[in-house]
Structure 1
Amino acid sequence: MTQLGFDALFGEQAWARPLVRVTPARLGTWEDCPRRYRMTYVDKAPRGGPRAASTLGAVVHLALRALHGRPPAERTPEAAAALVDRNWTGEGFRDAEQQREYRLRARTWVADYAAEHVTGAPDPLAVERWVSAPTGAIVAEGRVDRIDADPAGGAVIVDYKTGRHVPAEPDARDSAALALYAVATAATLRRECRRVELHHLPTGTVAAWEHDDASLAEHRARAEEGALAAADAQAADGDPDALFPPRPGPRCTRCDVRRNCPEGQAVGPAAAPWEGLFG
């Protein structure tokens, strides 16, 4: 599998230190804001309450996972909608009316998605699969929403999205998470994995990208750089604010550790828990 040419890409010196385990979520937190990384993974600071957009995403993921767990004949749009009801929770929504509105929306999204991508389709290679691979000085790992087979016998990464942003091809191309999932899936399943897809259920959009060796190597290099920087900051003996500086920006209004971050609070008032929903 040429896309995992670890020694050729990084050389023997990359193995001189213990491997750093990194998930896309952890790496993304470091790149967004080192202070949030510290508060989340090092200090384990108290976090804010649930947000409706996250709740909605979790419900949709649970419904689709349960749908794939049923026999093929029972993977119908009607069953998909019923599984939204079974997994529903109203955490983070403004009121009962908003809960009802988005519960009905989620039922429609999942039923339409099942009709297009699940009912009558071949079984996926894996659903909610943990994948892992050493690459350079890190171990890239994480849980993939779904892994499909392509006609040539390779694997395809599928990541569900329910947020306000409608993904396009550059989102799939530039996603470090999808690229790392591809690398880890190739090693875990021993199949070539280059195609990655973002499936946006509210709009039915599928944004896809076909990686090559060069693009995967570029993502791996950036991931290694970020993961090692985070590990070095965590191991260093110094001023935490200097080692883990804040990166204030619009996301601070929705940050779940902003109560402990004056710079984040200064960006603006906290967003309501139901802000960020699609539509």
Structure 2
Amino acid sequence: MTTGPAEQTTFAGMPTPLYSGSPSRLLAWLDCPRRYRMQYLDRPRPLARPQRAHTSVGIATHNALRDFWDLPAARRTPAGVAELVRSSWIDVGFRDPEQSAAWRLRVRDAVTDYLRASDRDNQPVGIERSVSLKTDEVAITGRIDRLDDRDGELVVVDYKTGRQVPTDDDARTSLPLALYAVAAARMFRRPCHRVELHHVPSGTIAAHEHTDESLARKIAEAESIASDLRRADAEFKQVGVESTRFAPRTSAICSWCDFRAHCPEGQQMGPEKSDWAGLEPAGYDSSPVERDDA
């Protein structure tokens, strides 16, 4: 029997299997059940729109920050960073070659300034480290942008590149960051309560210090979402697109949705954003990038 990413083979008398997924999968359901269905359940999967420029910029930024830590100390210089950005650059979705070139220089400067303010001699514990977390209900797998060691305790670092500068409240309420903290603590057998959002364009760091109790609440939140998804996935398996569980949740996000072409309701929410709209008027946004479904 072939199973999907959130399915496991079951036999009579066996306990209910864990619901397997990623933080992105859980959040996709909260954003819009229809987009969740098209992204994770429909087979064949509906054709998504071509990649936008802000996604290209976000991926290139993450890749440059990832590869920086593989450089020898002598090459951790502005020239070394410039070469990483150049080699990581993705020339997709821009209005024209001039816009692409201008944004490559902007990203080079932002990454250089961000790293200049960082402790470049303190090698992280993990870079794009895959982690997993199991409870009695769920099996969550994800990928952490950076995992630091600060005085014997682990710190989860997530890079942000959007126009909106994240706040400490964003760090506090982030479900993925909390799940990553619990997973890292269990995998490395070391305390991990602090989570941080590093906004690369501005150099701003938004942070939150979780308690064991607040992390437990986040686990309960993930289990609650997974319970809804278990029922929705099972119904889709039985009746397919006729299921009523996947009604669209329309909002301003519809103008950015990669599956907008397959959703009449979403098309009524205003004109579709251009390929480069995420770059205007300033900053860049990599939030749609799915990085934790490794």
Task: Compute the TM-score of the two structures, normalised by the length of structure 1.
Answer: 0.90
CA distance in 2, matches of 1:105, 1:49: 23
Shift of 1:231: 2.1
Please list the CA deviations of residues 91-142 of structure 1 after superposition, one character each: whole Å capped at 9, or x if unmatched.
11111121111111100011111211143x3110010100001023001220
Preserved contact between residue 141 and residue 180 of structure 1 (Cα < 8 Å): no
Please list the CA deviations of residues 209-256 of structure 1 after superposition, one character each: whole Å capped at 9, or x if unmatched.
000012111111111111221122111134645121110000000000
Runs of 4+, deviation exceeding 6 Å? none
The residue number in structure 2 matching 1:137 is 137
1:251 is aligned, of 247, 250, 253, to 253
The residue number in structure 2 matching 1:197 is 196
CA distance in 2, matches of 1:125, 1:133: 18
Q: Which residue identity is paired with 2:254?
A: C
Please list the CA deviations of residues 9-58 of structure 1 after superposition, one character each: whole Å capped at 9, or x if unmatched.
xxxxxx94211112111111111011100000111211011111111010
Preserved contact between residue 167 and residue 207 of structure 1 (Cα < 8 Å): yes
CA distance in 1, matches of 2:257, 2:90: 21
Preserved contact between residue 75 and residue 118 of structure 1 (Cα < 8 Å): no
Q: Which residue identity is paired with 2:95?
A: R
Shift of 1:207: 0.4
Shift of 1:155: 0.7
Structure 1 unaligned spans of 5+: 1-14
The residue number in structure 2 matching 1:263 is 265
What SS class does the counterpart of residue 53 from structure 1 fall into? Answer: helix
The residue number in structure 2 matching 1:7 is none
Q: Does 1:95 align with 2:96?
A: yes
The residue number in structure 2 matching 1:170 is 169
Task: Kindly indicate which of the two structures has a greater share of residues assigned to helix.
Answer: 1
What is the aligned-residue RMSD (CA, Å)? 1.5
The residue number in structure 1 matching 2:207 is 208
Preserved contact between residue 88 and residue 103 of structure 1 (Cα < 8 Å): yes
CA distance in 2, matches of 1:50, 1:125: 32
CA distance in 2, matches of 1:240, 1:27: 22
Task: Compute the TM-score of the two structures, normalised by the length of structure 2.
Answer: 0.86
CA distance in 1, matches of 2:242, 2:191: 41
- 1:262–1:205 CA distance, 2 compared to 1 (3 A): same
The residue number in structure 2 matching 1:11 is none
- 1:100–1:240 CA distance, 2 compared to 1 (3 A): same
CA distance in 2, matches of 1:144, 1:249: 29
Preserved contact between residue 172 and residue 178 of structure 1 (Cα < 8 Å): yes
Q: Does 1:154 align with 2:156?
A: no
Q: Does 1:69 align with 2:65?
A: no
The residue number in structure 1 matching 2:274 is 272
